[in-house]
Structure 1
């Protein structure tokens, strides 16, 4: 009996210690670890330094209210940093860590995957010979509650209320405000104020960097040379009603073409030839037909149903049953229903298997589950074992940032104004044709509407890829997208003594 009581006491003690350890687990507020590395990038041998650590977010009283985890890549033996570009990278969500582009796109180490972007075991990393580190230093930033970044306790040790956290961090404009302040500190600490600066964001990160371009220029007095929008959101440029519906058709055509679901006259053409035809039809005929709503003529409606079915790979009956307005969820479920598969949302090359073939939307997103299972072990291994950043804090692939305040999203207009104020500032969009979440034709529409005056058209560009939301996962597009990013950075640098004026 005494032995049992003793064992109970020991177990209770261990549980109490474990609980206390768990509750006291915290990230360092201000820290950094330096490591040295070598790589061959763009056929150049490069030595580089990685600084990974945390840097505080302060309130107006100078008290740290959060700390952000970052990873900063800097090429060694650069004589003049004032001529060396700095690329500042964010992912999206909101609530997503800056892991995706970090270890799959621009960084010198990328996910171990096959040539089409599908994971292979054992999970890990490989060298990225296409990284843009040869032409720019890169910092990957994790916003609050993503990666290792965290909200910090108040001075009295209590956590800020949910209302205060939302006001400080979790909304379109709060996000931009605190990140612009944080970047000012980062640029100051690392002596990069004179360097050309570029912002790159993916998905919701495009909303973030569009607003940051304006905030950095108007609140931190820091000119930006370029903004890259990867798989962009609407950035506050509304796409509603018939336009929202019409813009889906080119993406439907791309996904159907990939899965060989189009009729031979289209299937035998190259993807880009098909998309050019569908885009022309979408703007000139499908959109006007949708705008007529219930008052469209019978003949025109019948013709439109047939053409939309032809381009989407869906049956005329299905198109008619949806009154020409086909939800993306329904498309993902319907296109390959007869074969027993659903399509991925973020990358429609991926296939899923549902419990039932019936229904109007997929059970899950096969691409996202695949990515999370391969990215998570890779980033945890990389930060700890290769970059020597060790902590017991959990790396949040997706963090708690909700409810997110989406009100007063004027980031598209803010980006336009930043361009107008700064003759140096160029914008490039990169998008995958098989992305059903932020489809490529919506991205083109955003580009067209960003500057209604047309006076800055020569500073706007679009690049498309034969892959999905994270177009860089396909190796051919990893090479192509990095090269086009490299060229964008180089072409956005002004000539010596070229003044910023119109």
Structure 2
């Protein structure tokens, strides 16, 4: 999904080659064991004092002939003592595609987390940054394994492996599924409750991985999946011209953001105003989108008035836009008179622009560049000091250039397929029908302008999802809702309660 590639790959400041595959690595890996860096730690999580090991290690991935083709790196936090065979484990990854797990690692789930401005008003500036113990980490409930897909972090292709073997919807999911089964086997966790947590494209991946885990001759069922800022069906999260679905799914997020900035819904609560926007979207607006030019001018005017009411934009501008407001234009237009553009990952963020006449942000996503330096600095320092990692190459927060090489086809090479919006929603639905104990929690940010909360509702209302096993949660922040302290607390509480119900 091009709009996710444009903004979720916000860590492209590391503009290094896509995947390192130097001759030295190709010659030396066959004669050594996988690298591993282990350190011991303790902390109080969920009110319990926990001693744990942190293990940063590589796992060799193999092809059907048993030959090594890649090294996938992960960071595992494993509680010491007790019956490890029944100890729950959660596998965690971010999205992109082409993003390492750094964001969920030091942003939310890890034993130490970075803190940026909770209200999104202050840039992270230069070092030093705030990095604190995370007393709300889930380590008292489950071990945590942060996964860096091939091309990110230290993960790379090796030997006869090629980029095309891993850079794709199916290829990537296959590698993660292989890693998970290898890790579970190595650590004796087949009888332990198993969970996945993914963010953004990581949710696209999670659905496909859940499907693939059922195959391979040794099926592995999951107990629960946490989807943070879900992107299962891209029709509802691709704000492109002529994509009528996106105008429908994005409207409530535009209304919420306009409300936040005081441009719409004055005197009403966020919940009341977004409900009103949902009702309008499902009713008059949906009908108008599909009628198109068959509407009279009076009908178009009436819809424009309503859209102005919900979005805070000028009616004349809305009419010039054919009553269809692309998200890129909305971000620029909402506060144009103030010379400011709002963020994509989080519409609460805003920044003064250098080009006041442009249709889209010139400087990039404010909610990205106002936080990314803090994440990068604290993670690198943590990796090489606390976790005792010694490597002679950089940790890639993102794989620069992945988007142009990614194979989005959901079918095997050679199989017929016509281009369409990417979707793994049906995959997850079918997994849930085969595994009737599997439950899913979906975390949505009201001000997420890349994977809108209304799209979550639209997605899970279809595809035959078992409604009684889908849990929807909402937060007053954006794509990375945990950047806001109140939502960090709420999300921690919600995930903890979700897991506790599934861990017997």
TM-score normalised to the size of structure 1? 0.87
Alignment-derived partner of residue 429 in structure 1 = 442
Alignment-derived partner of residue 92 in structure 2 = 89
Matched, 1:329 2:333: no
**1:124-151 CA-partner distances (Å, limit 9, x unpaired):** 5211122122211110000001011111
Secondary structure at 1:94's aligned position in 2?
coil
Alignment-derived partner of residue 350 in structure 1 = 349
The 5-angstrom pairing of residues 171-210 of structure 1 reads 171-210=168-207
Change (3 A) 1:281 1:100: same
TM superposition shift of 1:71: 0.5
8 A Cα contact 2:78 2:144, kept in partner:
yes
Separation of aligned partners in 2, 1:249 and 1:214: 32
Change (3 A) 1:309 1:238: closer
Matched, 1:223 2:221: yes
Alignment-derived partner of residue 394 in structure 2 = 394
Separation of aligned partners in 2, 1:317 and 1:413: 40
Matched, 1:311 2:310: yes
8 A Cα contact 2:116 2:371, kept in partner:
no
Change (3 A) 1:273 1:477: same
Separation of aligned partners in 1, 2:304 and 2:234: 31
* Comparing 420-429 and 231-240, the one that deviates more: 231-240
Rg comparison, structure with higher value: 1
TM superposition shift of 1:299: 2.9
* Comparing 117-126 and 222-231, the one that deviates more: 117-126
Separation of aligned partners in 2, 1:418 and 1:335: 41
The 5-angstrom pairing of residues 283-322 of structure 1 reads 283-322=282-321
Separation of aligned partners in 2, 1:438 and 1:238: 8
Change (3 A) 1:124 1:189: farther
**1:381-406 CA-partner distances (Å, limit 9, x unpaired):** 11110010111211111114341011
**1:242-285 CA-partner distances (Å, limit 9, x unpaired):** 322111111101111111112xxx22222122111111111122
**1:418-473 CA-partner distances (Å, limit 9, x unpaired):** 10011110111111111111111112211212326xxx210011111111110111
Secondary structure at 2:144's aligned position in 1?
strand
8 A Cα contact 1:237 1:446, kept in partner:
no
8 A Cα contact 1:236 1:411, kept in partner:
no
Secondary structure at 1:144's aligned position in 2?
coil
Secondary structure at 2:306's aligned position in 1?
helix
Q: How many matched pairs?
A: 457
Alignment-derived partner of residue 104 in structure 2 = 101
Secondary structure at 1:488's aligned position in 2?
helix
8 A Cα contact 1:57 1:66, kept in partner:
yes
TM-score normalised to the size of structure 2? 0.86
Alignment-derived partner of residue 442 in structure 1 = 455
Secondary structure at 1:78's aligned position in 2?
coil
Separation of aligned partners in 1, 2:91 and 2:132: 22
Q: Which fold has the larger relative contact order, with Cα–Cα distance below 8 Å and residues 6 or more apart in sequence?
A: 2
Separation of aligned partners in 2, 1:385 and 1:304: 58
- Aligned match of 1:464 in 467, 474, 493? 474
Separation of aligned partners in 2, 1:237 and 1:58: 34
**1:343-385 CA-partner distances (Å, limit 9, x unpaired):** 1111111112222211211101122122321111111111110
Separation of aligned partners in 2, 1:78 and 1:338: 61
Alignment-derived partner of residue 213 in structure 1 = 210
8 A Cα contact 1:203 1:438, kept in partner:
yes
- Aligned match of 1:486 in 464, 488, 496? 496
| Unmatched 5+ stretches in structure 1 | 1-21, 155-159, 496-502
Matched, 1:68 2:81: no
Separation of aligned partners in 2, 1:436 and 1:378: 26
**1:286-331 CA-partner distances (Å, limit 9, x unpaired):** 1111111011233332211111111101111111110111111110
Secondary structure at 2:102's aligned position in 1?
coil
* Comparing 40-49 and 482-491, the one that deviates more: 40-49
8 A Cα contact 1:25 1:393, kept in partner:
no
8 A Cα contact 2:119 2:348, kept in partner:
no
8 A Cα contact 2:350 2:366, kept in partner:
yes
Separation of aligned partners in 1, 2:236 and 2:458: 10
Separation of aligned partners in 1, 2:341 and 2:209: 37
**1:211-230 CA-partner distances (Å, limit 9, x unpaired):** 01111123341010111111
8 A Cα contact 1:90 1:202, kept in partner:
yes
8 A Cα contact 1:237 1:449, kept in partner:
no
Matched, 1:32 2:36: yes
8 A Cα contact 1:124 1:381, kept in partner:
no
8 A Cα contact 1:130 1:478, kept in partner:
no
Secondary structure at 2:441's aligned position in 1?
strand
RMSD of aligned alpha carbons: 2.0
